[in-house]
Amino acid sequence: MAEDLIKDNVNKDIVVLSIESSCDETSAAVVKNGREVLSNIIATQIDIHKRYGGVVPEIASRNHVDCISTVVDEALNKAGTTLDDIDLVACTYGPGLVGALLVGLSTAKAMAYSAKKPFLGVHHIEGHIAANYITHKDLEPPYICLVVSGGHSNLVYVKDYTEFEILGRTRDDAVGEAFDKVSRVIGLEYPGGPKIDKLAKEGKPTYKLPKTFFEDSLDFSFSGIKTAVINLVHKEGDKINVPDLCASFEEAVTDVLLSNLLKACEMKGTTKVALAGGVSANSYLRSRLDKMGEENNLMIYYPELVYCTDNAAMIGAAAYFDYIAGKTSGWDLNAIPYLKLGDKLRK
């Protein structure tokens, strides 16, 4: 069936209605041909979860239920489209919070089924990678992508639009998770990443923090630096210079990320590098990556800030490339909260 759909649509524009609800953003978008965003509506829950110091899964799920219909309607209206104009309905099916995922998945299935449109489940991390195709219309595989977010730290060799090789991944905490935990211990509000980034600009990297490297692998580990910061704060208390600590933490984490990234480029013989994920919005990481690019003759790509954090436009971009490769999903596709990059279920 999928092959027939592709043959029918190969010479026309493909318009995707996409939904993202893996964590605490409810988002819907309309994306044409994987790179042109006609609308991208995001309803964030940051203010709701801020009082708890992090995302509460049950509260996130209930808020997705409350607003998803409104968000989808707004995305269609802003794009000037109706379901009749849509070629494909897509959504995130993993990884993420299972209750949150199920809200988007159920909505997308219902809309696709009622409108007699094909349905496709998208891997959340593939969506983050595909966000670069929206900002950079000329970006084509192969290239190395550093995926850094609250739940994921991956070094990925993007062989083709739908083909990925994992070169390295976190063995414990993801880098965004480390940012959030460090921010909590030094008394910053959720989400901690942007606040650490801001404070670090006022400080200097005067604290020596551990950096973990593996001789035989490009994997990451950030539990050690997180624990070191926690112990340092407990030991020194009010004597801690918070801006200096933020600058030291950012520098140590970035050193590890970029060291492994450069090794990955050398391993694969590529000069194209992309960033993806929520932490790709970090200004220090971007500036250091730009400098590394200049020093090593690398072409550097990263998404616009709105496409760094969770959004449905990136899901629509990824869905397009899966769809033209002949992939769709069955109505029995379920949410998979611990789905790893490279693990795909397609019907």
CA-to-CA separations, 316 to 40, 222, 324, in angstroms, rounded? 10, 31, 12
Cβ pair 308, 314 in contact under 8 A: no
Q: Is residue 330 part of a domain?
A: no
Write the pLDDT tens digit of every residue in 257-283: 999 999 999 999 999 999 999 999 999
- Name the H helices within the chain: 2-9, 46-50, 57-79, 98-115, 124-135, 175-185, 192-200, 223-236, 242-268, 283-296, 312-324
Cβ pair 153, 136 in contact under 8 A: no
- Assess whether 275 and 155 both reside in one domain: yes
- Assess whether 115 and 178 both reside in one domain: no
Q: Is residue 339 part of a domain?
A: no
- Predicted confidence at residue 345, as pLDDT, reads 46
Q: Which of 186, 260, 248, 247 is nearest to 220 (CA)?
A: 260
d(CA 305, CA 21): 18
Whole-prediction pTM: 0.93
Q: Of 39-43, 101-105, 151-155, which gets the smallest average pLDDT? A: 151-155
* pLDDT higher than 50, residue 347: no
* pLDDT higher than 70, residue 6: no
Segment 215-230 shows an average pLDDT of 93
Q: Which of 93, 77, 84 is nearest to 111 (CA)?
A: 84
Q: What is the DSSP letter of 85?
A: G
Q: Is residue 343 part of a domain?
A: no
Write the pLDDT tens digit of every residue in 309-333: 999 999 999 999 999 999 999 999 9
Cβ pair 21, 331 in contact under 8 A: no
Q: Is the peptide bond before 95 cis (omega within 30 degrees of 0)?
A: yes
* pLDDT higher than 60, residue 5: no
The C-alpha torsion from 176 through 181 and 187 to 192, rounded to 10°, is: 10
* pLDDT higher than 60, residue 1: no
Cβ pair 220, 232 in contact under 8 A: no
Q: Is residue 345 part of a domain?
A: no
* pLDDT higher than 90, residue 337: yes
Cβ pair 213, 256 in contact under 8 A: yes
- Assess whether 145 and 17 both reside in one domain: no
Q: Is residue 270 part of a domain?
A: yes
- Assess whether 75 and 17 both reside in one domain: yes
Q: Which residue has the tokens 């496709």?
A: 120
Average pLDDT of the chain, as a whole number: 92
* Full residue range of the structural domain in which residue 204 is found: 138-304
Q: Which residue has the tokens 């063995």?
A: 171
Write the pLDDT tens digit of every residue in 237-264: 888 999 999 999 999 999 999 999 999 9
- Assess whether 104 and 68 both reside in one domain: yes
Q: Is residue 333 part of a domain?
A: no
Torsion sign over Cα 336, 132, 150, 229? positive
- Going by DSSP bridges, is the β-strand pair 153-160/163-169 parallel, antiparallel, or unpaired? antiparallel
Cβ pair 174, 225 in contact under 8 A: no
Segment 214-235 shows an average pLDDT of 92
The count of structural domains within the chain is: 2
Q: What is the CATH number of the domain that holds 144?
A: 3.30.420.40
Q: Is residue 46 part of a domain?
A: yes
- Predicted confidence at residue 277, as pLDDT, reads 93
- Assess whether 293 and 221 both reside in one domain: yes
Q: At what angle do helices 283-296 and 192-200 cross, to 10 degrees?
A: 60
Q: Which of 41, 313, 309 is nearest to 193 (CA)?
A: 309
Segment 62-72 shows an average pLDDT of 95
Report residue 54's pLDDT band, with 50, 70 and 90 as the boundaries. Answer: confident
- Going by DSSP bridges, is the β-strand pair 25-32/15-20 parallel, antiparallel, or unpaired? antiparallel
Write the pLDDT tens digit of every residue in 153-172: 999 999 999 999 999 999 99
Q: Is residue 220 part of a domain?
A: yes
- Assess whether 112 and 174 both reside in one domain: no
- Assess whether 97 and 195 both reside in one domain: no
Q: Which residue has the tokens 């509260």?
A: 59
Q: What percent of the chain has pLDDT over 90?
A: 79
Compute how many other C-beta atoms are within 10 angstroms of the C-beta atom of residue 146: 27
- Predicted confidence at residue 4, as pLDDT, reads 46
- Predicted confidence at residue 156, as pLDDT, reads 97
